[in-house]
Amino acid sequence: MKDYQQAFNYRLLALTLCGIMVGGCAQESNDEPEQVKNHAQPMITERLAEQKSTSKGQQLGQSQRAVSDNQLSPQTAEIAAIPVNRAVKPYQYPSQAKLMQSAMAYAQVSADVNSAQVNQDKFATVVQNGNMVAAETPVSTFSIDVDTGSYSTTRRLINQGQLPAKNSVRVEELINYFSYDYPAPSDVDVPFNVTTELAPSPYNQDTQLLRIGIKGFDIAKDQLGASNLVLLLDVSGSMSSNDKLPLLKQALLMLSQQLSAQDKVSIVVYAGASGLVLDGVAGNDFAAISHALEQLNAQGGTNGSQGIQLAYQIAQKHFIEHGINRVILATDGDFNLGMTDHQQLVDYVATHSQKGIGLSTLGFGLGNYNDHLLEQLSNKANGQYAYIDTLNEARKVLVDQLSATLLTIAHDVKVQIEFNPAVVSEYRLIGYENRMLNRSDFNNDAVDAGEIGAGHNVTALYELRYNDSQNKLIEPLRYRASTTQHDDKARSISDEVAFLKLRYKAIGGQASQLLTYPITKQQQLSHLHQASDDFRFAAAVAGFGQLLNHNHYVHDTDYAKLITLAESAMGQDRFGYRHEFVQLLKTAKVLSMQPIQARPSSQIAQQVNPH
């Protein structure tokens, strides 16, 4: 309501000034009530038009949704129904009292309209990973994640003057939004390379930060091979604003310019019903693709499930053996018709991913946005989830990172790390809350996990406390179990901090392959400033996500420290994303210092972390 109150204040001030300026020549008359109506009507009409139009975009994170007249109170509905009569007698202006009355009527209209609006955004909240005792639970297992949607939705909210809700930020997606200079694999038989780095943590005194970096091998766009792409587009009425369907069209035009004659492109749309707009044209037929996109208009409801079913039918029809077969879903929100059960949708796309057809999701706009569903759909369908809030983000995802977006180079990538209790007292995984796996899942090839695309970076961070730390959070057990055999083994490998294991399935393979990497104390750096730029920058990004989530385990950091840390680790920053992040940090710092305001009533899907 803050922005509407400001708008009202500005209008009231302008009206009052007008009254003062013309007060000398204004004459009260019996026609004054009608003049007041004439004066208030344009404001009321304009206000209702703003609310009914879906093309006004977002104002400070508040979604603009159509509101009919019968949603207003009887008093304001009566005011809104006053006919417009623009014939005002010369030199007969309403008095300041009447100006105030009409302005207050306008304010009541605004209040009724706003109270009828509900923000329907859905962001899942997770239970943050806690501090684990290495002597009791030495093993940590999780699935990798290459999604980036949480970063760009966070960026948009902050740029609109609103911090995201507590525990709604997926910290790993903030970290993995950025590229890091990890060495590429040298062995063509292994799809990715793994590096580790260990330095003091910026979050707490007397703690260490372990970074695990994974780099997939890259493939040039012209070597991707044939692609069968089905663009599944939401053209429901809520997609009409400029940051939705118009931006989507521009984004897909960028994508189509990267394709060749060997590729096939289909377009399926859905609103109240679904339909086939383009059926398997050549990827280089830019004129056909462009014309099809230009004809799209936003109208109707959102029968997304029916669209998904048709999209998979078309993908199967044009299936390319040993090629890239992928449905790309672009939408601004939830499905409100058809197969609305989310688990049913997730199971549906997961079944088709096993047939070789992946699903990637692209989100647009806010107001009726289901971040939780889009992330889950891509997770279960061997795909990637990204949120497109600007044309620059569209270029990043669909042009600069096209190979990673389309081509998967390794399936079901799992990470398991065993900490040495002789060295490590406590540890905490930062992020990946909804990617946690049971210890037994690591060796179970039937358990689904994340995928790595060509050229993808994946980063995971653990905060550690060594046994000689003076700031342990958990006291050791009085009656902890201990065996001579275990202690002897611990002493024999006392140089190791942890033992890292990764499992993955090669493309077309059913059995996973194992990679192992010991992490030794020789890697330990004495000071944070000795760490690489990538290490320090990733630490700053992870710290940012933890502050946004109100994490209880960061005691020795704040926005000012993170800004200094990020500014010291800019590196080459070819595309300027790191500089943009610093500006985002500075804006978040200012917002965090403001009094807590009532936030939109976003729907939060509870995601419980069983670990």
What DSSP assignment string belongs to 389-445? -SHHHHHIIIIITHHHHH-EEEEEEEEEEEE-TTTEEEEEEES-GGGB--GGGGG-T
- State mean pLDDT over 386-414: 93
Quickly state the pLDDT bin for 61 (edges 50, 70, 90).
Answer: very low
Arithmetic mean of pLDDT over the chain = 81
The pLDDT value recorded for residue 489 is 56
338-342, 404-408, 595-599: least confidently modelled range: 595-599
The pLDDT value recorded for residue 163 is 96
CB 123 within 8 A of CB 156: no
19-33, 341-355, 476-490: least confidently modelled range: 19-33
Alpha helices in 412-532 (DSSP H): 484-492
The pLDDT value recorded for residue 382 is 86
Per the DSSP assignment, residues forming a β-bridge with 195 are 213
24-33, 40-49, 170-179: least confidently modelled range: 24-33
Q: How far apart are CA 411 and CA 461, in angstroms?
A: 22
119-133, 423-437, 574-588: least confidently modelled range: 119-133
CA distances to 167, 269, 304, 336 from 300, in Å:
34, 12, 12, 11
Report pLDDT digits (tens) over 277-326: 999 999 999 999 999 999 999 887 766 678 889 999 999 999 999 899 99
Q: Which domains does the chain have, with CATH numbers?
A: 2-115 (no CATH), 131-219+408-607 (2.60.40.1230), 221-406 (3.40.50.410)
Residue 351, pLDDT above cutoff 70 = yes
The pLDDT value recorded for residue 73 is 38
Report pLDDT digits (tens) over 498-516: 999 999 999 888 899 999 9
CA distances to 202, 537, 591 from 584, in Å:
19, 14, 10
Threshold 0.85, pTM exceeds? no
Among 94-103, 205-214, 230-239, the range with the most confident prediction by mean pLDDT is 205-214
The pLDDT value recorded for residue 543 is 98
